Amino acid sequence: MAPQNDSPPLLEVRNLSIEFPTRRGTLVAVDDISLHIDQGEVLGVVGESGAGKSLTGNAIIGLLEHPGRIASGEILLNGKRIDNLSYEQMRRIRGRDIGAVFQDPLTSLNPLYTVSRQLVETIKVHTDLDTGAARARALELLEAVGIPAAKERLSSYPHEFSGGMRQRVVIALALAAEPRLIIADEPTTALDVSIQAQIIALLKRLCAERGTAVMLVTHDMGVIAETADRVAVMYAGRVVETGPVASVIQNAHHPYTSGLMGSIPHMKHGVNRLTQIDGAMPRLNAIPQGCAFNPRCEKVFDRCRKERPELISIEQNEVACWLYQSDVGGVS
Amino acid sequence: AEEFRWAGQGDPSSMDPHAAAVGTNLSFLGNIYDGLMRRGRDMSLQPSLALSWAPVGSDGWRFNLRQGVTFHDGASFTADDVLFSFERATGEGSDVGTWFASIDHAEVVDDFTIDFITKQPNPLFPNEIANWMIMDRDWAEANGATSASKEEPNFSRFNTNGTGPFKLESRQADVRTVLVANDGWWDTAEHNVTRATYTPIGTDATRIAALLSGEVDFVNPIPLQDVARVNGAGGFSVIEGVETRVIMLGMEHQNDTLHDSNVTGVNPMKDVRVRQAVYHAIDIDSIIENVMRGQALPAGLLISPGANGFKDEFNTRLPYDPDRSRQLLADAGYPDGFSLLFRCPNDRYINDEAICQAITAMLAQVGIQANLQTITVSNYWPLLREDDFDMYLLGWSPGGSLDASHPMRFLMHTPDPEKRLGSWNFGKFSNATIDSLVPQIVSEVDAGRRQDMIDQVHGIMRDEVAYVPLHVQPLVWAKSDNVELTQRPDNFFNLYWVRVN
Amino acid sequence: MTDTNTRLLYRIYDSDIGYSFRKSRIAVAATIVTLIYFLAAIFAPLVAPTNPYDLASLNLSDAFTPPAWVEGGSSKFLIGADDQGRDLLSAIIFGARMSLLVGFASTFLAFVIGVSVGLVAGFRGGMVDAILMRIADIQLSFPAILVALLIDGVARSVMPSDMHDTIALWVLIFSIGISGWVNFARTVRGSCMVERGKEYVQAARVIGIKSTTIMVRHLLPNVMGPVLVIATIQLAVAILLEAALSFLGVGMPLTKPSLGTLINTGQNFLYSGEWWITIFPGVALAILVLAVNLVGDWMRDALNPKLR
Amino acid sequence: MIAFAVRRFIQAIVVLLAVSLIAFVMFKYVGDPISQMVGPETPIDQREALREQLGLNDPVPLQFMHYLGDVVQGNFGRSFRTGLAVDRVLLERIPATLELAIVAVLYAVVAGIPMGVYSGLYPDRWLSKFFQTVSLIGISLPTFFVGVILIYIFGPTLNLLPTFGRGEVVHIGFWSTGLLTVSGLKSIILPAFTLGMFQLTLIMRLVRSEMLEVLRTDYIKFARARGLSNRAVNFGHALKNTLVPVITVIGLQLGQVIAFAIITEAVFQWPGMGLLFLQAIQFADVPVMSTYLLVVAVFFVAINLVVDLLYYVIDPRLRLDRAVAQGG
Amino acid sequence: MSDAPVIGPAMTKSGTLMRVEGLKRYFDVSPPLLNRWFEGRPRQILKAVDDATFDVERGKTLSLVGESGCGKSTVARCLVGLHKPTGGKIEFDDIVVTASGTDHFAQVRHRMQMIFQDPFASLNPRWRVFNIVAEPIRAFGLIDAGVALTRRVHELLDLVGLTAEDGKKYPHEFSGGQRQRISIARALASNPEFLICDEPTSALDVSVQAQILNLMRDLQDEFGLTYLFISHDLSVVYHMSDSVGVMYLGRIVEIRSAAEFFAGPLHPYSQLLLETIPSLENIGVARAPLAGEVPNPLSPPTGCAFHPRCPFANDRCRSERPSLREVNGGLAACHGVEENRISETQQL
Ligand SMILES: Nc1ncnc2c1ncn2[C@@H]1O[C@H](COP(=O)(O)OP(=O)(O)OP(=O)(O)O)[C@@H](O)[C@H]1O
Ligand SMILES: Nc1ncnc2c1ncn2[C@@H]1O[C@H](COP(=O)(O)OP(=O)(O)OP(=O)(O)O)[C@@H](O)[C@H]1O
Ligand SMILES: [Mg+2]
Ligand SMILES: [Mg+2]
């Protein structure tokens, strides 16, 4: 679903690479990836642990941690580059244009300040509201994220909330300045199963109401399936497949994606042996030449070991796999 | 209004003049209290509260007292106060009782005359009580300070009422004591000090820094090595003198075995040859030059030049002669030497620890391995009293009497607690002749006969090597050039000789 | 065997820590300096020009010889002689030996006590932990220097006095060691509480491994990281504390001087121009402590995953 | 809150009891007080009588009970050496030590925290490295050595500052302060600098490493993600979170400072408790020593109490009860 | 013992291997004494496991599911002796392991083993893999050190898909999935018949999870192992179990054969749990999230603990605690099911 009109996508990531200089050379953690998110769209980013999902998210809000750095590529918000802004310029964008929700609600809130203080502080940074008005707005936000008895809970400290409640507060904080994009990095992994659904539903509802786009980083395919409009599957720092959610899930092209789908235990498929992808994702310092997935791939052939595949459009999806490169023709 | 500030090593432990017969206290309190007599700059006895004194009858001394003297609180001074001070000084808790060992009783003759009746003739009595200070009976009784005892809350430990040139203005023990001039003093003041502040500073370096940075006008003592520095600093000068204190080595004379030695079952020190060997092993000139920085006199006697009974011809030392020393040891049966426990204070005498170290090294060169143990003085005396040593370092000053008999009574006479004799003779040196001579010397009035007996004792002392005298300790004071003051050989410092310009 | 050894050495060399070590010039320099001190201390009798303990060899007339390059100096006494005519360089080497001995032994003592207490408290928890930690609290309310002064004072009065100098070393080691165990105990306890909840400990318990074995074989190696850092810091602290005690007059005796004792004696000659007697031991001490601290500092950063 | 206070109080009492027991038992065996109390000439029988009279021959537990009883009544006995009531002597000395300790810690805090924050925020700048280096030297130099050298430099050589004592003091009630006179202020500079140097280093290093750690936490990252200004993040969020451990250490250090003042006081002849204690040790002045110990312990306990309360103010998590925190 | 069988005895017997009756494990989490005195706070007992009764069939897998904090791990720990049960009886192969007075645990200890959740924390980072795997063998004295031991460890490593060479490495040199394999090798080292697996894959990526789950099933088939499998992921449970027990706040609320359970759970909580499983089929269809918060286990609701979140709760549910009753071949603790208010077919 590439943008049909002329206006640029809300967010566009072009050929982004992120690297870590180490003593044994530079590790490329995110390797030349491109993504885009449209207004109000939910982009799911899935992939195994270490695939580079969080780094991508952090790079977008300009919070890459030292010594990680953007090696190349551009990040554009509404067509304007934001990857080369100064700290101060970027600060204005953070919270106001791009909000963030991190994985662990236990540690995302400053334990020493009340919830209201943290909310008011955030609201005041981005708006002209005075303290009173900011408090009123804070209360509205808490009510919006479904905190019961929000008025009383305003002056509570983070530790007085349960995990689910805390994540609601975090979402409220991320939405405080009505950003147009939220980067949600595994917002539910630390939460209980029964709460996860609540939080995802909340996030989805709020963003839909406000027309906020979401980049939802997760490794839970189920969450993606029910939430995302489009999916990007990452493997070893690269996007291997991207496309509309239904198409990626039901009609995966990349051997990794299809393997991934197969390895998820399905309730409705009977108790069969799970499809398994042998081996593990390579470490950054040992990413194989060519297609990073080639050592684990059942359909590997020579070219995979030598050349790196680029994303090409196959049906609704874009896939980075030599199988679908028409000039050579795959094994299939 | 002249302010004078000075610093010393330690603080007087009490403001009670009878509480401790310690130089620090007596020297300091001498500014507040007067005695019947006082010592002049040359140590000569001079009238103070007593105008004159003379033997009365065969066994006594009569003191004619000064009239018109008042205590700081305005009360007038009479013979009764002297009697009271005598009772107090010989009473419980007093540390100065030994000064009156020869006194049987005192009799007030009239308001300004008092007799002290001795048990037997004591020609030295006035000398012995030169540091005795007179207190006011009424004041003491009114304030419950009739005894010098330490443990009760004793008013006199923190308050004074003397007749002396200075009054106690304020006192913070161990921190600072302030004196102000007594305008009503009976003597005409030689000093021009109106206010004097004393600060004890324990650390040598800090004390000297205080002088050099102008925070005090006078310090006592300064380390020997800093003499040149003070003299060279400009605006400061060092006053050096010879103290009456003789530094010596004591040895174990009686025990049959040593405390810590590789020879067991025998006490080599009982052999006079061994004691001589120790004597010959010591290069006193090197010690004086290097440790004492040339500022001490070698000593051959236990008294210093100037003391009553001192004779130069007896003041010669056995020469430094390590070979002879080794020979003597071999003769005595210790060709390979032996080891012993050598005790030494580390904060009592000038450079005591360094002296002992040097001696240890010198003894090692002739084969005597001294196991040197240095310790703070407050723990040192108990060890000596417990006989826990083989050899030790001691310094002796003949107190107020400045007489040759003083060290004889304390250091040479066989220990006799009854008669309070030999009480510092830790090595239990014992010689019958000396024991019989000492009482005679003490009571002999005829100077010639007395000197003969003293010489006899000194002869025995040296032949027997009862002690190994080392040197006479120097006095090293330092002052800023704008003050004039007088150093007395007994290391007493008198404010009434101070002039601030 | 040598093969495994070299492989181990290579592994250490090649590890992250080895790398961060090689990269930090300061750490390398500090380690070299520390090593030099150690070697000099261990081989003092071979390294030092003279034996400063041999009193018979001292000559009082050598006293106060200034350093060789100063006027009046003698090549016999490279950095001068002290007030007893002792070669200062030898005295410093032997003094460093004493300081290091006291430092090491007391740190080891503190280590043994602290780690044992910490292990037991952290592993057992509950009452045992509460009691041990209260004891640690009480110990903490006696600052190290007080503890050391106290123990020293007590030892001196309880022991027969002619043993003072003989036991001075042990008393110092004991008193400094005792005053330093709490840090070890607290750290170990903290790490232990974290570690004992980890599943590898439970896995060991499931197969019925005895508690003491678990503590020693499983927990101990895993809590050693921070302990090493503390040990280095404690070593520096112990050396300084020993020097301070010597300054207060309860340290090593003059006949077996440590660096602190040397400074303390030398201090008396600062004003009289014989500065070398105190300055050189002072500088020697400062460099030693600095080097140890630098090593500790580097180790703290290198071993702290949160900081790298 | 009450329970918290009571628990703290009981702990304090236990600590104090333990301290007094240790103090008492230890000092029971230090030196021989009698030989300090009487002159060297006093005969044995008088010594024995005094020993009996002072209760030094009673069984030890009885002596301890007596001691405790006295302490509770505010009677700490009399100094063997000076005969003064110990509480009075110590009370006289407390202001000197406290002023020294507080000035030292204040200086350490005032200089140490900004230095630590700076080098935590900008670990790679040369000034941070400079601070780091200087601070390491600060903890590597023996205090007494520094003191001696400082005296040498500022006293006789430059003649700038007083080198001993407190200078003029002003009495306000029982308190004597040197902070109100010029000479008093000048006098405190060198000793406070010497004493505080070590603390400064500690505080600086601690703040730095805490800062580095806090800056890596999620809530700081999240605060940045919310678009808060650098200032608000660094000082509003990060610094406050570093304060909890820093306050503990400062609290503990104040106790340490009071004890380490012994050395500084000895070098600068500062008329505080430490000097008194040192003299007391030398003279085996048991009452002074044990009371000093008690006083230090009381300070320590009091400081700890204050620190705990400060925690309580700073860190809301502590206001919550353990069980509830777990259950939620 | 060098001729010890390479693999545990393949159990041919059938029947109950582990029988748990009325298992209780309480924790005293009372506030400190002083708080109780001064703030009038009561003693607080956390009933982590309350009255759990179940059997595990030989060679079969029983799964326990439930939200975080419902007591799954506590059950597991009681079984392997990490916790001493507060009450109840545990029988292993007809040996009473825990009952008042008797303790035959040492007898059966080597016959059961545990696999833990966190592959990063469950291996001692300072030990070589060889020693980690050999530890149980040594602890139980199964094989004397030497060649036999080495051979045995290599066999075990091989069994879980690692190589003998891997034994020389340290855990940090392995990926999460490989570490979990090492855990399994260690667990198999003492030839156990019964393996307790506490969320063995929840820390792993799905692709790796599949490897581990497959391996576990292979091992079960090969050696007739019995599993108690703990998970909060119902799709994994579905894949692994023969029967399923659902826990809520320390109690077992439903226990049935897996087939029946997944065909139609009885207890409303089970139904809700099943609902929350994200499905890859229903793309874009939001799950109906289970409302409400996980209750505080310290003050569990009266009556049926689930009633505040239960759409079918009535007054009886609020006041009377249901006990496990036989329903349709399984057991369920629900008044609604008992009263037929809720049928298994009724979907929410
Ligand atoms: N500071 C760093 N130094 C070196 N490598 C790093 C650093 N931070 C991250 N990486 C590496 O970058 C890669 C991508 O990390 P990232 O956090 O983006 O993964 P992720 O996809 O978010 O995984 P997860 O699902 O575990 O959160 C990982 O291999 C990680 O090891
Ligand atoms: N040692 C303990 N002391 C006190 N409470 C405990 C202890 N261990 C567990 N609990 C409590 O017992 C309850 C059950 O814990 P348990 O670990 O068995 O839950 P679980 O079902 O395994 O949860 P999870 O899915 O998070 O692992 C929880 O409320 C927990 O807080
Ligand atoms: Mg991530
Ligand atoms: Mg669990």
- Considering the domain architecture, whether residues E46 and E128 belong to the same structural domain is answered as yes
CB spacing of E122 vs C199 below 8 angstroms:
yes
Pocket mutation for ligand 1, best pick of A16, A31, A53 (most atoms within 8 Å of C-beta): A53
Ligand 1 center–CA A282 separation, angstroms: 12
> Is the distance from the beta carbon of residue E249 to the nearest atom of ligand 2 less than 6 Å?
no
* CA-based torsion, A188, A189, A190, A196: positive or negative: positive
**Cβ atoms of residues E28 and E194 within 8 Å:** no
Of A96, A107, A113, the CB nearest to D227: A96
Amino acid at residue number D107: Y
Give the closest residue to E113 by CA, choosing from E48, E203, E15, E18.
E18
Question: pLDDT band for position A6 (50/70/90)?
Answer: low
> Is the distance from the beta carbon of residue E180 to the nearest atom of ligand 2 less than 6 Å?
no
**Cβ atoms of residues D8 and D305 within 8 Å:** yes
DSSP letter string over A265-293?
PPSTT-SPPPP---S-PPPGGGPPSSSTT
Domain C3-52+66-307: assigned CATH number: 1.10.3720.10
Interface C:B, ≥3 CB–CB pairs < 8 Å? yes
Contact residues on chain A for D232, CB-CB shorter than 8 A: 121, 125
Contact residues on chain D for C240, CB-CB shorter than 8 A: 140, 142
**Cβ atoms of residues D301 and D286 within 8 Å:** no
- Residue spans per domain, chain D: 86-327
- Name the A residues in 159-188 with CB < 8 Å from any E CB: 162, 164-165
Question: pLDDT band for position A135 (50/70/90)?
Answer: very high
DSSP state of E20: E
Pairing of strands B338-345, B368-375: parallel
Angle at B104 between CA B100 and CA B108, to 5 degrees: 95
Question: pLDDT band for position A10 (50/70/90)?
Answer: very high
pLDDT in the model for residue B431: 92
pLDDT in the model for residue D319: 60
Model confidence pLDDT, tens digit, residues E261-312: 888 888 988 888 887 777 777 777 666 666 777 778 888 888 888 888 888 8
C-alpha torsion angle, residues B463, B467, B471, B477 (rounded to 10): -150
Of A100, A113, A125, the CB nearest to D229: A125
Closest residue in chain D to residue B205, using alpha carbons only: D148
Ligand nearest to the CA of E299: 2
pLDDT in the model for residue D324: 35
Model confidence pLDDT, tens digit, residues E138-156: 988 888 878 899 999 999 9
Confidence check: pLDDT of D327 > 80: no
* Interface TM-score (ipTM) > 0.90: no
- Considering the domain architecture, whether residues E197 and E316 belong to the same structural domain is answered as no
pLDDT in the model for residue A192: 76
CB spacing of D227 vs A87 below 8 angstroms:
no
Compute the distance between CA of residue B198 and CA of residue B196 in angstroms, rounded to an integer: 7
DSSP letter string over E273-316?
HHHTS--SSSTTPPP-PPPSPPPPTTSPPSSSTTGGG-TT--HH
Q: Which residue has the tokens 């005295």?
A: C91
How many Å separate Cα A103 from the centre of its chain? Answer: 11
CATH of the domain at E50: 3.40.50.300
Question: pLDDT band for position A269 (50/70/90)?
Answer: low
List the structure tokens of D297: 């312990």
Question: pLDDT band for position E4 (50/70/90)?
Answer: very low
Q: Which residues of D63-81 are buried (b: 16+ CB within 10 A; e: fewer)?
A: bbeebeeebeeeebbbbbb
CB spacing of C207 vs E109 below 8 angstroms:
yes
Of A61-70, B148-157, D6-15, D80-89, the one with minimum mean pLDDT is B148-157
**Cβ atoms of residues B61 and B116 within 8 Å:** yes
CB spacing of D3 vs E35 below 8 angstroms:
yes
CB spacing of B376 vs C55 below 8 angstroms:
no
CB spacing of D39 vs B21 below 8 angstroms:
yes
Touching partners of B (3+ C-beta pairs < 8 Å) = C, D
Reported pTM: 0.82
> Is the distance from the beta carbon of residue E176 to the nearest atom of ligand 2 less than 6 Å?
no
Model confidence pLDDT, tens digit, residues B443-488: 888 888 999 999 999 999 989 999 999 999 888 899 999 999 988 8
How many Å separate Cα A58 from the centre of its chain? Answer: 9
Compute the distance between CA of residue B77 and CA of residue B137 in angstroms, rounded to an integer: 9
* CA nearest ligand 1 atom 24, residue: A49
B341 touching chain C per CB within 8 A: yes
**Cβ atoms of residues B83 and B65 within 8 Å:** no
When comparing pLDDT for D283 and B34, which is higher? B34
Contact residues on chain D for E37, CB-CB shorter than 8 A: 3
SS3 C76: coil
pLDDT in the model for residue E13: 56
- Name the C residues in 113-152 with CB < 8 Å from any B CB: none
CB spacing of D269 vs B203 below 8 angstroms:
yes
Closest residue in chain B to residue C153, using alpha carbons only: B379
Domain-embedded: residue E5? no
Give the closest residue to B395 by CA, choosing from B491, B282, B302, B489.
B302
Average pLDDT over residues D115-133: 89
Question: pLDDT band for position B282 (50/70/90)?
Answer: very high
Give the closest residue to C242 by CA, choosing from C175, C287, C185.
C175
C180 CB-near residues (< 8 Å, 6+ apart): C106, C107, C110, C114, C144, C234, C237, C238
**Residue E18 forms beta bridges with which residues?**
E56, E92
CB spacing of D326 vs E39 below 8 angstroms:
no
Compute the distance between CA of residue C201 and CA of residue B263 in angstroms, rounded to an integer: 61
Share of chain D above pLDDT 70, in %: 88
Model confidence pLDDT, tens digit, residues D219-240: 999 999 988 888 889 988 998 8
- Considering the domain architecture, whether residues E230 and E254 belong to the same structural domain is answered as no
Domain end residue (candidates: E222, E241, E260): E241
List the structure tokens of B344: 């030494």
Give the closest residue to A187 by CA, choosing from A89, A53, A71, A66.
A53
Structural domains of chain A ordered from first start: 11-97+179-328 (3.40.50.300), 105-178 (no CATH)
Fold of D86-327: MetI-like fold (1.10.3720)
Ligand 1 center–CA B224 separation, angstroms: 72
**Cβ atoms of residues A95 and D226 within 8 Å:** yes
List the structure tokens of B66: 């000064």
pLDDT in the model for residue C1: 47
Model confidence pLDDT, tens digit, residues E166-183: 898 888 888 888 999 999
Ligand 4 center–CA D123 separation, angstroms: 41
* CA nearest ligand 1 atom 14, residue: A52
Domain end residue (candidates: E212, E241, E270): E241
pLDDT in the model for residue D90: 84
List the structure tokens of E270: 């089970």
Average pLDDT over residues B1-7: 87
pLDDT in the model for residue C164: 63
**Cβ atoms of residues C82 and C88 within 8 Å:** yes
Question: pLDDT band for position C165 (50/70/90)?
Answer: low
pLDDT in the model for residue E6: 42
Pocket mutation for ligand 2, best pick of E47, E65, E70, E114 (most atoms within 8 Å of C-beta): E70
Domain-embedded: residue E347? no
Ligand 4 center–CA E106 separation, angstroms: 24
Give the closest residue to A324 by CA, choosing from A34, A332, A294.
A332
Model confidence pLDDT, tens digit, residues B205-219: 778 888 888 889 999
Of A195, A246, A271, the CB nearest to E283: A246
Of A207-216, C228-237, D79-88, D148-157, the one with minimum mean pLDDT is D79-88
- Considering the domain architecture, whether residues E311 and E237 belong to the same structural domain is answered as no
List the structure tokens of D95: 């202001």
Instruction: Count how many domains chain E has.
Output: 2
Confidence check: pLDDT of C246 > 90: no
Interface E:B, ≥3 CB–CB pairs < 8 Å? no
> Is the distance from the beta carbon of residue E252 to the nearest atom of ligand 2 less than 6 Å?
no
DSSP state of B143: T
Give the closest residue to D165 by CA, choosing from D265, D83, D74.
D265
A321 burial class (0-12, 13-18, 19+ CB within 10 angstroms)?
A: buried
